[in-house]
Amino acid sequence: MNIRKLIRRIIEENYPAGAQFDSSAPWNQKEPSYSSVSEPENKEFNTIAVFPGELAILKDVNGAKHAFYFNSLDRSDFEPYAQREIINTERGEDGPEHDYSDDWDIDSFVIDNFVNDNASSMSRGIGVNGWENGLDIVAIDDELKNELLNLYGKDSNIQVALS
């Protein structure tokens, strides 16, 4: 049973007088609806750390670590991979048309879906040379690891991912 439904049932049994008719009460709010997410068929990479708005540390199926610098990408590139709340629905010529909330982040879930869906067309390299040449996915060697720790080492998630 859904925990929200269980809580709602318990609250409904113990409403204060007239509260069941108060549409602004939290227990009378509709459950939010969300957009569907574009998920890749193959999952080559898993995001193990994110430096918000800039860098993701990925681990491939063999356990090797890679850097994915995404600061140069537009936020709209990630939209199909983010689960966004539907805030309004109107009838359109071809069916329902939805307006979505802009309240979403480029998190590890979104990065996983984006990278794995686009991996076949992304440029790849190794080490500092690949990083400095702006390649999309760069295998992390010791030299690049040290460079990343120098740039992002104050973030504990990055430290743990690169250890």
Polymer length of the chain: 163
- Is the same domain home to 3 and 65? no
- The tally of domains found in the chain comes to 2
- Is the same domain home to 103 and 114? yes
Residue the block writes with tokens 């760069």? 138
- Is the same domain home to 71 and 57? yes
> Containing domain of residue 70, as a range?
32-162
Q: What is the pLDDT of residues 47-61, one digit of tens each?
A: 999 888 889 999 999
- Is the same domain home to 48 and 115? yes
- Is the same domain home to 70 and 24? no
- Is the same domain home to 120 and 87? yes
- Is the same domain home to 56 and 125? yes
The helix/strand/coil state of 127 is helix
Q: What is the pLDDT of residues 115-147, one digit of tens each?
A: 999 998 999 999 998 888 889 999 999 999 999
Distance CA 155, CA 49 (A): 10
